[in-house]
Amino acid sequence: MITKLFGFNGGVKPATHKDDSARAPIIRAPLPARLIVPLRHNTRAIARPIVEIGQHVLKGERIGGAEGVLGTACHAPTSGTVVDIAEHTMPHPSGLPTLCVYIEPDGEDRWIERKPFDYANCGCGDRQAVLDYLRDSGIVGMGGAAFPSHIKVGTKRVAHTLVLNGAECEPWITSDDRLMRERADSILRGAEILSDLLGAQRILVGIEDNKPEAIAAMREAAQKLPVAEVIVVPTLYPAGGEKQLIRVLTGIEIPHGKLGTEFGVQCFNVGTAEAVHRAFDLGEPLLSRVVTLTGNVERPGNWEVLVGTPIENLLELVGPRADTDRYILGGPMMGFALPDLSVPVVKGTNCVIAASQALFPYPPPEQPCIRCGACAEACPADLQPFELYWYARSKNFGKAQEYHLFDCIECGCCAYVCPSNIPLVDYYRFAKSEIWAREREHDAADAARERFEFRNYRQEREKAEKAARLAAKAAETKAKLAARGEGETAKAEDDPKKALIAAALARAKAQKESVAPKNTDDLPPEVQAEIAEIDARRKPLTGEEVAAQEAAEPSAREAGEAAAHARDEDTKKALITAAIERAKEQKAKQAERRETAERDDK
């Protein structure tokens, strides 16, 4: 079937430089001494560690659980021991660190038990189970953005067309080219699974015309899949952009702020399709990817590399030349210079280019914008790049958003044609990161306010519920008292709290009266009489008894005072008598001692 091709505005035609690496078949890279597996796939998709230091893991075992809506799982690329869980520099222009799991391979490369997943008859008939399997297999976009595939597949079957992206329009990169040449059947099998999940009736495979071998291989494999059609598109950068490829293949123009799914079209990279096939048919999570190593090297080619392999280990395979002065991750149009060669390969890493001044001379100094409009003519997203540049530079982010900043795919066409050598994409990335940071702060403030308002609401609700419970209890008590005829307690009917207190006192009084001592049974009559006498004394006095007691109190008090006075007089007389007797006795003794002394003198 001959399909009509459509064009898109803008685009550039840089030199491709693909021949050197495209000739080399895919080779499995050797196992490094240590793997550093990041728990972050892109700026918004992260995972949480679920292993501990010292734990032995098998190849394909989950080491990171999906965190949040955009999160996907991470797996051990080989068997070995977790030796550390710490931050390491990300392969990102910012050079910021992220949490990584360090694995020391044991060299055995032992797999977990691999089980294929029958997505058509998964048992529960729940579509969410299929999406969860995609998420837990760690499947993300292999084109570079690493966007989670379970989000792109979505919860509903809404796409009538699946576009398979094999354009690979960036210069120097040939990883998708070699993948299509060598694994065409696996790619189309993954595309078939994705089309079933999306409900798509046709599969369009877009490949640029500078990959004849890949086109031939994919067309041969497509003969087994009637709904698939391989379409050759002109070589024009960035024909591999999602919206641009959909436009070229289907003629559908995706407006600003919209996604292809809203128009019945979904797009996946050929590498993603191959990963989907391995996950569903072989039970293998995403552990490796094909990476192009090229540029100023002796042996350019394509290697299948485990996720987490440090870049510096790969460079030993290709032999960088002596005049290499930096390394670019990705293509020369959208890539960036590596901040550190120890950064690991991630799922979105498709190319590493050794750069030298001969191949990639440093750009001349930035000059002021002359408003020539060349950037607008080259922009494939129909934006006004020079306006975005001014607003981003002046930090007028609101106006930048009004000019559709987030529709920029950062392809670099504007900077490529800019006669003033302005790094326009860097300005756009800065503006986007600032807007995202402010949105995060705004969301955090909204969440705090919602928590505070809910706390107030909860307290008011609990207070109202408590008042209602008290009122119901008071009404119930009132009804019971009314039934018993206890009018005095019912006087407190106007106050529910008083009514409850009165009811409690009444119950305590009744309980006290109902209690009878049990240790006085079978006592002798005299003991019973004594107890009765004691109880009589304990019995509260009547009013007459109290008056009689009060009347009798003066005479008793006087009698007591008289008795006390008499006791004092008797005591006093006794003391005087005793003193007189002691004086007499002492006087007699003195007289006796004098008579005895006189007789002795004679």
C-alpha 480/C-alpha 523 separation (Å) is 41
CA distances from 579 to 505, 572, 582, 588 (A): 67, 11, 5, 14
Each as own residue / partner, the long-range contacts of residues 81-86 (CB below 8 Å, 24 or more positions apart, any chain) are 81/54, 81/55, 81/56, 81/57, 81/106, 82/51, 82/52, 82/53, 82/54, 82/55, 82/56, 82/57, 83/34, 83/53, 83/54, 84/53, 85/49, 85/51, 85/52, 85/53
Say if residue 369 carries a ligand binding annotation: yes
Say if residue 414 carries a ligand binding annotation: yes
C-alpha 568/C-alpha 577 separation (Å) is 14
| Contacts of 182 by beta carbon, 8 Å cutoff, 6+ apart | 25, 26, 217
Tokens of 556: 């008793």
Say if residue 418 carries a ligand binding annotation: yes
Please tell me whether residue 344 adopts helix, strand or coil conformation.
strand
Measured over the CA atoms of residue 326, residue 176, residue 424 and residue 258, the dihedral's sign is negative
Residue 178 exposed, middle or buried by CB count within 10 Å (0-12, 13-18, 19+) = buried
C-alpha 10/C-alpha 408 separation (Å) is 13
* Contact status, residue 42 vs residue 91, Cβ threshold 8 Å: no
* Contact status, residue 131 vs residue 153, Cβ threshold 8 Å: yes
C-alpha 285/C-alpha 278 separation (Å) is 7
Say if residue 372 carries a ligand binding annotation: yes
CA distances from 35 to 70, 105, 110, 312, 437 (A): 24, 8, 15, 12, 31
Residues annotated in the binding site, as ranges? 369, 372, 375, 379, 408, 411, 414, 418
Residues annotated in the binding site for [4Fe-4S] cluster, as ranges? 369, 372, 375, 379, 408, 411, 414, 418
